[in-house]
């Protein structure tokens, strides 16, 4: 194998310990793991409840399943009628694509594959000519969801990849299911993307989520703890998900800039976003990584419903942290 691919979660959950009232479910989801914590006095759940939901979501939107709806669409089948999950993610993607002026764009799937971060193989060395040939098919504004719930494109080729929003969306789906069964205090985490409701009844306090330092040497160190209540948090970073060509030493990060089509490392090392939904938090974290610090800060001036923690590199190469003003009292540094 001629490359090294490193993929780990961006978060740890800071545990306050188990009590008899706390129930924990864990399993595999979307190529990573999930953890659910809830209180048994409110409801009762089984792993099969969530595996059933995952089966439906994967059959709709997993690019790693050849006969999923999204894989069939990417292969050119325009007769597929997409389900409610696909419709929800498509509409959320369009909204955030418009809000970020294209910095969040799930139509970059061909480029994701070319750089080695998807199911479709990768190019040994990605050239500018390769990028140009694939970049012509990028642009979420070329796509539409029809009244018949089919996907149409003005381009001859498309490759949708919802991986930058699907984990957050699935977290929301799990949370909605918990609430529908009467759970009022819970935590859902999938691969580091988190949604919480109510409080941690063990300690009668808000849920606390840990955020790691972006360390590329593989070590893990929690730097901040964030108190959350009825909120979601997602983090994106290039420090644990990248590919290194063993022959050339070229490093490719997983963030694809939809404006250039290139695997691009910006001065934001880690972008954590707190939002009402994990769907939004997940997508905006990806967009901020592509924007870079200056553009992201400008965006936040007119989008004050989002709170962020950016760990970034200044012009002198020093690691800095920006924390939204509204979060100041909710963040503890370790």
Residues in binding site: 164, 282, 286
One-character DSSP codes across 185-253 = SEEEEETTEEEEES-BTTTTB-EEEEEE---TTS---EEEEEEESS-EEEEEESSSSEEEETTT--EEE
CB 236 within 8 A of CB 7: no
Distance between CA atoms of 159 and 292, rounded to whole angstroms?
A: 25
Residues annotated within the binding site for Mg(2+) are: 164, 282, 286
Cβ proximity of 232 and 274 under 8 Å: yes
Asked if 316 and 327 touch (Cβ cutoff 8 Å), the reply is: no
Residue 312 C-beta-side C-alpha neighbours within 13 Å:
23
Question: What residues contact 43, with CB distance under 8 A and at least 6 apart?
Answer: 178, 181, 182, 183
CA dist., res. 217 & res. 8, Å (int): 12
CA distance 264 to 48: 39
Q: How far apart are CA 61 and CA 69, in angstroms?
A: 6
Whether 71 and 65 have beta carbons less than 8 Å apart is answered as yes
Residue with the two structure tokens 């498309």: 158
Separation of alpha carbons 234 and 275, rounded Å: 9
Other residues' Cβ atoms within 10 Å of the Cβ of residue 325 = 8
- Paired residues of 275 in beta bridges: 232
d(CA 282, CA 167): 7
**Residue 320, CA distances (Å) to 152, 252, 288, 289, 323 in order:** 43, 23, 16, 15, 10
Bridge partners (DSSP) listed for residue 274: 233, 307
| Residues 122/206, Cβ–Cβ less than 8 Å | no
């Amino acid at each position: 194998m001629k490359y090294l691919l490193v993929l780990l979660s961006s978060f740890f959950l800071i545990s306050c310990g188990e009590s008899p009232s706390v129930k924990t479910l864990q399993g595999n989801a979307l190529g990573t793991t999930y953890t659910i914590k809830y209180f048994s006095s409110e409801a009762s759940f089984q792993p099969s409840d969530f595996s059933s939901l995952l089966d439906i979501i994967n059959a709709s939107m997993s690019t790693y399943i050849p006969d999923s709806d999204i894989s069939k669409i990417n292969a050119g089948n325009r007769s597929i009628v997409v389900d409610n999950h696909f419709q929800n993610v498509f509409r959320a993607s369009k909204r955030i694509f418009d809000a970020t002026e294209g910095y969040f764009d799930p139509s970059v799937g061909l480029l994701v594959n070319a750089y080695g971060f998807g199911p479709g193989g990768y190019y040994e060395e990605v050239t500018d000519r390769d990028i140009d040939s694939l970049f012509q098919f990028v642009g979420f504004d070329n796509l539409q969801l029809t009244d018949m719930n089919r996907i149409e494109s003005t381009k001859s080729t498309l490759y949708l990849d919802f991986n930058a929003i699907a984990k957050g969306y699935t977290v929301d789906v799990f949370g909605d299911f918990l609430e529908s069964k009467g759970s009022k205090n819970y935590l859902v985490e999938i691969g580091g993307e988190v949604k919480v409701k109510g409080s941690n009844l063990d300690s009668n306090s808000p849920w606390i989520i840990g955020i790691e330092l972006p360390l590329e040497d593989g070590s893990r160190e929690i730097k901040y703890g964030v108190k959350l209540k009825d909120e979601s948090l997602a983090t994106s970073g290039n420090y644990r998900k990248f590919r290194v060509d063993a022959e050339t030493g070229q490093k490719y990060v997983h963030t694809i800039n939809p404006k250039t089509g290139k695997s691009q490392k910006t001065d934001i090392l880690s972008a954590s976003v707190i939002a009402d939904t994990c769907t939004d938090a997940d997508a905006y974290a990806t967009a901020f990584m592509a924007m870079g610090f200056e553009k992201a800060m400008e965006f936040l001036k007119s989008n004050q419903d989002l709170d962020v923690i950016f760990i970034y590199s200044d012009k002198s190469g020093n690691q800095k942290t920006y924390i939204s003003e509204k979060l100041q009292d909710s963040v503890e540094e370790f």
